[in-house]
Amino acid sequence: MPLNAGDVVRVAIRQRGPQGQDIVNVIHYQADAAIASSDAEIMDAIVATADTAYAFLNYFTPSTQRPLDVRADVVRLQNNQIVIVRPLGARSWGFQYDPKESGNVYAPTIAAGILLRTLAPRVLGKKFIGALMETHMYDYGHLSPDLMAALAQYAARLLMPILLQGGALHAGVLSKRIGQFVRFVEYEIKNVPFVIRRRRLGIGR
Amino acid sequence: MSITLLDVLREIAHAEIVRIVERHPDDGVVWLAVHFKDGVDGRYHVAQGVGATHEDALRELQRSVRRHVSGEVYDAAGDDLPF
């Protein structure tokens, strides 16, 4: 089924972490025009984007971390809540993304972070990239330049529009605060890791 | 020959990278900046590159990094721009 101009797609990229935890990154995309591609073609393109983006992190991610699936749904804001309009599909992934690093991993509460800015004030995205490994942390808890460069390539890939028949999908935030979708225009990577606040004690270890 | 951000960062392997920023505003210009602390003199630098494409911006960034590492930026202006 095609997408209409302005439709928002929620993409959940799921992995199984080295401690058995779920690692999920969610990215929202908006169609800039009516897209004639089928759901299967859209899923193929989304999975290819996720796969090539995460492949930049192959040598910074523990080999015990495995890609699980990519799920996508068409969503919209209704009464300031994000609701699913229809599912697009779920696919396995990890064709190019194949984590290879070995060594000690940090506790799952810390991760490399990417800040994604929009043109709307105080509307931004944060992506937590884990699991973080000791070999890629330098003195004073700073991320290594190699890891920062890989994160930059990862972020740049995610921000590239996903080209489809008739239009493209652009990454951004479906903001409840301003009640609309806004595109990412900037990424920022700092050498200080992010700390993840678990939503419920005991969940995610 | 195409270059990558990693190629540029390797030229400042002696430095501590503080942050990397890339901006794609709607007017089709790509802006790239690397904020780093020089490992030799301990000073902070902000190298920047602007271009019509990611590749152009990277090349401009590479030139900027070289100017900063050579001391040309500090020598000319006396101080670096705040980030």
Question: What is the tens place of the pLDDT at every residue in A56-90?
Answer: 999 999 999 999 999 999 999 999 899 999 999 99
Flag whether pLDDT at B31 surpasses 70.
yes
Flag whether pLDDT at B13 surpasses 80.
yes
Flag whether pLDDT at A10 surpasses 90.
yes
**How confident is the model at residue B27, as a pLDDT?**
67
Q: Identify the CATH number of the domain defined by range B5-75.
A: 3.30.160.20
Q: How many Cβ pairs closer than 8 A exist between chain A and B?
A: 53
CB contacts of A189 in chain B (<8 Å) are 19-21
Q: How far is CA A78 from the centre of its chain?
A: 23
Strands A81-92 and A66-78: antiparallel
CB contacts of A187 in chain B (<8 Å) are 21-22
CB contacts of B26 in chain A (<8 Å) are 185
Do the domain assignments include residue A130? Answer: yes
Per the DSSP assignment, residues forming a β-bridge with A15 are A23, A67
Interface test with A, best of B3, B4, B6 (most A CBs within 10 A): B6
Do the domain assignments include residue A3? Answer: no
Do the domain assignments include residue A172? Answer: yes
Mean pLDDT of A192-201: 77
Do the domain assignments include residue A166? Answer: yes
Using CB atoms within 10 A of its CB, is residue A161 exposed (0-12), middle (13-18) or buried (19+)? middle
**How confident is the model at residue A203, as a pLDDT?**
61
Do the domain assignments include residue A2? Answer: no
Q: Please report the ipTM that was assigned to this predicted complex.
A: 0.82
Closest CA–CA distance from residue B76 to any residue of chain A (Å): 28
Do the domain assignments include residue A128? Answer: yes
Determine the structural domain holding residue A133 and report its residue range: 8-195
From CA B58, how far away is CA B48, in angstroms rounded?
A: 9
* Sequence-distant contacts of A50-55: CB under 8 A, at least 24 apart: A50/A11, A50/A13, A50/A93, A50/A97, A51/A93, A51/A94, A51/A95, A51/A96, A51/A97, A52/A96, A52/A157, A53/A154, A53/A157, A53/A158, A54/A13, A54/A96, A54/A97, A54/A154, A55/A96, A55/A97, A55/A98
List, in order, residues 6 or more apart from A4 with CB less than 8 Å away: A31, A34
Percent of chain B scored above 70 by pLDDT? 83
Do the domain assignments include residue A117? Answer: yes
From CA A196, how far away is CA A57, in angstroms rounded?
A: 19
Do the domain assignments include residue A86? Answer: yes
Number of structural domains (chain A) is 1
